[in-house]
């Protein structure tokens, strides 16, 4: 069995999760390959970069089909110039890349799609694939138009409804051309959302496909050592927050800051952040350490171990890698009851779920942690994580699905 993973990138949240699935399958003995448009890894075998040598111009076709008068520069960009609105990302379902013609696609028995925005041209790709497709969803974009989460779509619905609806129609027409397609979601929340969508409501949807991670990379070390390496005082309460961009509204850093502002100013509390665009003036009464945007997993593991808890205040999220990584280090998580966090975090066991999506509720949860309202056992948190996010189990679930789909082809 030859499996090909297709992902726009091998980095970023979705790219890392896709790459970890590829690694888990390789370790299981599966013939797995990984094709991406943007390649950063050099240490993982069988990862290939798609070179833009085989492409065709779709500018006129796109403009004619959707009646758009857009500058050339926006056709393959991750944001659109000229339309107002506040949103994280908006992507097109059309590109000038002929991925279906790639030799790795032709060789594969199973195609596994991941985050494919700005990479896959929906009409040409799905029209030319006559083999089973597994589509692992990492956000809502595959069953929305150009937006990647529901809140962005609803917030900008008046301005964007025309192009959003056109893109949904195009995606459905394209996906409907594939007879053997199964949808996989890490969280049940995303699976239920997909079931209600126009594009996937008639497709088999498999929820609870938890990601697998490497527990030799993400593991506990002594907090004193971690703090010494980072130059962070070991005393007091240390809270960790991480996001590629700290200004990403969906990730809720503003809600965390508002919650911390409600706490007693005399608390000896330290905020540690990983991510870009940090404002040094965000908190005047607590110590802040912004460590910047970090990609090295070994260093990230040290940072987890320097903290006392991880706060994950996302307004919307599927199944963030940071949740798995923090739990693997035995770190309790304080989160809102949304997405995959609501399914994994159990108050008093491996973290605290705030009652609702407000700074007041988040502050109450943080205060409960500070007051030792719950007694967390790091060893127990890690042991449960090792069971839930086991790479072998992760690979086996996919292999069972692959075999089921291949068998259905050969059975009348």
384 and 397 together in one domain: no
Radius of gyration of the chain (CA): 22
pLDDT confidence of residue 55: 47
Block residue for tokens 């609501």: 342
Tell me, what's the pLDDT at 82?
59
Range of the domain at 44: 2-212+390-410
Share of the chain above pLDDT 70, in %: 90
pLDDT over 70 at 63, yes or no: no
What is the pLDDT at residue 81? Answer: 55
* 287 and 208 co-located in one domain: no
CA distances from 204 to 90, 207, 340 (A): 27, 10, 20
**Among candidate residues 310, 308, 273, the one with its CA nearest the CA of residue 289:** 273
User: Which helix (H) or strand (E) element contains residue 335?
Assistant: strand 333-335
| Contact of 172 with 101, CB cutoff 8 Å | no
pLDDT band with cut points at 50, 70 and 90 for residue 243: very high
Same domain assignment for residues 162 and 118: yes
Q: What is the mean pLDDT of the chain?
A: 91
In angstroms, rounded to a whole number, what is the distance separating the alpha carbons of residues 91 and 31?
A: 31
CA distance 47 to 36: 8
Which of 271, 266, 276, 262 minimizes the C-alpha distance to 289?
Answer: 271
233 domain-assigned: yes
- Ramachandran region, residue 317 (left: φ > 0; alpha: ψ -120 to 50; beta: rest): beta
Q: Are residues 16 and 125 in the same domain?
A: yes
pLDDT of 395: 97
| pLDDT > 90 fraction of the chain, expressed in percent and rounded | 82
pLDDT above 50 for 110: yes
Residues 6 or more apart from 38 whose CB is under 8 A from it? 8, 9, 10, 11, 49
Domain count, the chain: 2
* Per-residue pLDDT at 70: 39
Q: Are residues 207 and 274 in the same domain?
A: no
**pLDDT tens by residue, 318-377:** 999 999 999 999 999 999 999 999 999 999 999 999 999 999 999 999 999 999 878 899
Are residues 327 and 403 part of one domain? no
What is the reported pLDDT for 285?
78
Going by pLDDT thresholds of 50, 70 and 90, the confidence category of residue 410 is low
Is 70 exceeded by the pLDDT of residue 179?
Answer: yes
DSSP string, 227-280: HHHHT--SSSEEEEEEEEETT-GGGTHHHHHHHHHTS-TTS-EEEEEEEES--T
What confidence category does residue 65 fall into, taking pLDDT thresholds of 50, 70 and 90?
A: very low
**7 pLDDT above the threshold of 80:** yes
Residue 372 and residue 269 share a domain: yes
Q: Which of 146, 87, 150, 93 is nearest to 116 (CA)?
A: 93
Residues 196 and 252 in one domain: no
281 occurs within a structural domain: yes
What are the residues whose beta carbons fall under 8 Å from the beta carbon of 54, sequence distance 6 or more? 97, 98, 101, 102
Same domain, 30 and 175: yes
- Does residue 8 sit in the same domain as residue 117? yes
Half-sphere exposure (Cβ direction) of 88: Cα atoms closer than 13 Å: 23
Residues 376 and 400 grouped into a single domain: no
Q: For 204-224, what is each residue's pLDDT tens digit? A: 999 999 999 999 999 999 999
Q: Does residue 218 lie in a domain region?
A: no
Residues 236 and 255 in one domain: yes
- 217 in any annotated domain: no
How does pLDDT run across 280-325, given as a tens digit for each residue? 656 667 889 999 999 999 999 999 999 999 999 999 999 999 999 9
Measured N-to-C along each axis, helices 359-370 and 253-261 cross at an angle, to the nearest 10 degrees, of 60
Rounded Cα–Cα distance for residues 217 and 209 (Å):
21
3-state secondary structure of 79: coil
CATH code of residue 325: 3.40.50.2000
Least-confidence region, from 76-80, 82-86, 137-141, 260-264: 76-80
Residue 257, pLDDT > 80, answer yes
173 inside domain: yes
For the segment 119-168, what is each residue's pLDDT rounded down to a tens digit?
999 999 999 999 999 999 999 999 999 999 999 999 988 778 888 999 99
């Amino acid at each position: 069995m030859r499996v090909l993973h297709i992902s726009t990138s091998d980095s970023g949240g979705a790219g890392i999760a896709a790459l970890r699935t590829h690694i888990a399958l390789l370790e299981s003995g599966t013939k797995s390959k990984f094709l991406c448009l943007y390649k950063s890894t050099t240490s993982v075998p069988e990862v290939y970069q798609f070179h833009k040598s085989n492409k065709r111009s779709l500018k006129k076709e796109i403009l004619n089909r959707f009646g758009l008068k857009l500058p050339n520069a926006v056709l393959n960009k991750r944001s659109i110039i000229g339309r107002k609105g506040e949103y994280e990302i908006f992507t097109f379902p059309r590109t000038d890349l002929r991925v279906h013609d790639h030799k790795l696609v032709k060789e594969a028995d199973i195609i596994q799609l991941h985050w494919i925005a700005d990479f896959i041209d929906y009409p040409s790709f799905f029209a030319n694939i006559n083999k089973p497709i597994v589509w692992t969803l990492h956000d809502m974009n595959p069953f929305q138009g150009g937006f990647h989460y529901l809140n962005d779509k609803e917030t900008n619905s008046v301005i964007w409804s025309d192009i959003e609806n056109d893109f949904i129609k195009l995606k459905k027409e394209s996906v409907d051309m594939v007879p053997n397609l199964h949808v996989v979601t890490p969280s049940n929340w995303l699976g239920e959302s997909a079931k209600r969508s126009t594009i996937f409501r008639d497709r088999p949807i498999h929820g609870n496909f938890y990601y697998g991670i490497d527990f030799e990379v993400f593991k506990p070390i002594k907090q004193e050592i971690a703090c010494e390496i980072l130059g962070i005082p070991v005393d007091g309460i240390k809270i960790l927050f991480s996001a590629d961009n700290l200004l990403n509204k969906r990730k809720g850093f503003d809600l965390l800051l508002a919650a911390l502002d409600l706490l007693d100013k005399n608390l000896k509390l330290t905020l540690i952040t990983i991510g870009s665009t940090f404002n040094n003036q965000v908190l005047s009464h607590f110590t802040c350490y912004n460590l910047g945007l970090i990609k090295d997993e070994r260093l990230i593991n040290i940072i987890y171990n320097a903290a006392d808890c991880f706060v994950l205040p996302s307004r919307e999220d599927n199944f963030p890698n940071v949740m798995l990584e923090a739990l693997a280090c035995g770190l309790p998580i304080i989160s809102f009851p949304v997405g995959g966090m609501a399914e994994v975090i159990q108050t008093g066991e491996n973290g605290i779920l705030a009652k609702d999506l407000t700074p007041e509720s988040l502050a109450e949860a943080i205060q409960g942690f500070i007051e030792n309202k719950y007694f967390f056992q790091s060893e127990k948190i890690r042991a449960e994580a090792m069971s839930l996010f086991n790479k072998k189990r992760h690979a086996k679930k996919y292999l069972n699905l692959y075999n089921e789909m291949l068998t259905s082809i050969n059975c009348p």
